[in-house]
Amino acid sequence: MNDRRAPSPHDTTADAGQGNVADSMSAQTRLVHVGRHPRQQHGMVNTPVYRASTVLYPNLAAYLNHDQEFEYGRRGTPSSRAVEDVITSLENGAGTRLTPSGLSAISCALMSVVGAGDELLVSDSIYEPTRIFCNGYLARMGVTTRYYDPGIGAGIAELLTPATRAVMMESPGSLTFEIQDLPAIADALRGRDISILIDNTWATPLFYRPLELGADIVVHAGTKMFVGHSDAMFGTITANRSHWDRVKTTHGDMGLCAGADDCFLAARGLRTLAIRMKEFNTRALDMARWLEEQAPVRRVLHPGLASHPGHAIFKRDFSGGGCTFSFALPKGPEEAIHALFDGMELFGIGVSWGGYESLIILPQFTNNRTVTSLPEDEQLVRLHIGLEEPDDLKADLKKGLERYRTFLD
């Protein structure tokens, strides 16, 4: 029925450790076993890097009937299938396709549900390159995008027109961390031909499973938590049964595929995702709580905090959180933020996140808010909390905050 290729757990020919994992097993166990078939790889634990364009057929009949699992490198290899099976299993979807980046997963997913004359609703807190794709490419193709307040919930019903075909969500937003009420949005759209897409990069399917809450398509920047070591670009698209055919077709039509080495790195990263997420969840929340107590921090934007406006929904729908969050400082002179950033010893200044090393960036909001706004008198800073000793990170941040404070009156 679904596209998972793991052998059935009842297959009597399969040995222990062969990737024959029941759907009922926990996500942590599936992360370790799904997508690995050591008996097909001479006993090797990990599925190797299959570099391929051409795949040979044993005879003309096999070629004409397309009756082998792999036919051409772009259309899948054991290296890509290994990753697809893990994500499909974790997201509880009908199938998964891989892309060379998170952004290409988003653009492909959007192109699979909208066309000329359609209207798309997008959260105002969306990842900025997603907004640029909607306002640029999709607009040129005749798709109208309108933005909505991420706190809208059931109120989304008021924005619908007969042309509305899709809603693109991201919960929480990756700079400002607003939580969206996916079940309320799904309820408001029920019975209409409107697809719900969601970017689930932050929480990962270990902590949030949008397809079970009413979404149709889930995308990931696998670049972040799946790869997990800041050394590859990767994207995934997982769809439910009603959306799987169009995702598979659009992905195929666009000629997208992920490189074999990157598939290997993603598959390897996924094996330890559960233990990394558990650790990141604890560390980031602990650091967020600590920052709430530090001067001159004004507020901390982490949905796991009781002070966060989305906390109740977060507690209801998520079982944990990711490794990034933001905090707000009272706006100071320009030198203040340079002094904070440039003196950091452990936090690197760089975009992306999800690796083992801590990062700090300055979110900028020049063109990326249309229906919501942020306080003018605040300076936001986003952190990715890495795997260094938390006390060392706190000492680094404390010194940074002191540098900032010397510039405030």
Ligand X SMILES: *Cc1c(COP(=O)(O)O)cnc(C)c1O
Nearest to 102 by CA among 242, 215, 201: 201
Contacts (CB under 6 A) with ligand X, residues 193-222: 199, 201, 221
Contacts (CB under 6 A) with ligand X, residues 41-80: none
Say which residue the tokens 């590859």 belong to.
232
Region of 31-39, 95-103, 135-143, 357-365 interacting with ligand X (CB under 6 A): 95-103
CA atoms of 258 and 96, how far apart (whole Å): 12
By the rule CB under 6 A, 174 interacts with ligand X: yes
Q: Which amino acid is at 176?
A: T
Contacts (CB under 6 A) with ligand X, residues 247-276: none
Q: 4, 81, 85, 127: which is the annotated catalytic residue?
A: 127
Nearest to 226 by CA among 251, 179, 262, 278: 262
Shortest distance (Å) from residue 374 CB to ligand X: 18
By the rule CB under 6 A, 127 interacts with ligand X: yes
Question: DSSP states of 149-208 as a string?
Answer: -TT-GGGGGGG--TTEEEEEEESS-TTT-----HHHHHHHHTTSS-EEEEE-TTTHHHH-
- 187 counts as catalytic: no
CA atoms of 341 and 221, how far apart (whole Å): 26
Site string for ligand X, 341-360 (x = CB under 6 A): -----------x--------
Q: 4, 36, 209, 224: which is the annotated catalytic residue?
A: 224
> Who's near 67: CB < 8 A, 6+ residues apart?
none
Measured torsion, CA atoms of residues 234, 231, 132, 369, in degrees rounded to the nearest 10: 120
- 224 counts as catalytic: yes
**178 versus 199: smaller Cβ distance to ligand X:** 199
Say which residue the tokens 């926990």 belong to.
26
In DSSP terms, 98 is beta-bridged to 236
Q: What are phi and psi of 249, to 5 degrees?
A: -65, -45
Report the residue from 77, 80, 195, 223 that binds ligand X according to the rule CB under 6 A: 223
Region of 29-37, 55-63, 97-105, 293-301 interacting with ligand X (CB under 6 A): 97-105
**19 versus 205: smaller Cβ distance to ligand X:** 205
Contacts (CB under 6 A) with ligand X, residues 229-248: 233, 235
**102 versus 386: smaller Cβ distance to ligand X:** 102
- 262 counts as catalytic: no
- 127 counts as catalytic: yes
Residues engaged in binding ligand X (CB under 6 A): 101-103, 127, 170, 174, 199, 201, 221, 223-224, 233, 235, 352
Active site residues: 74, 127, 199, 224
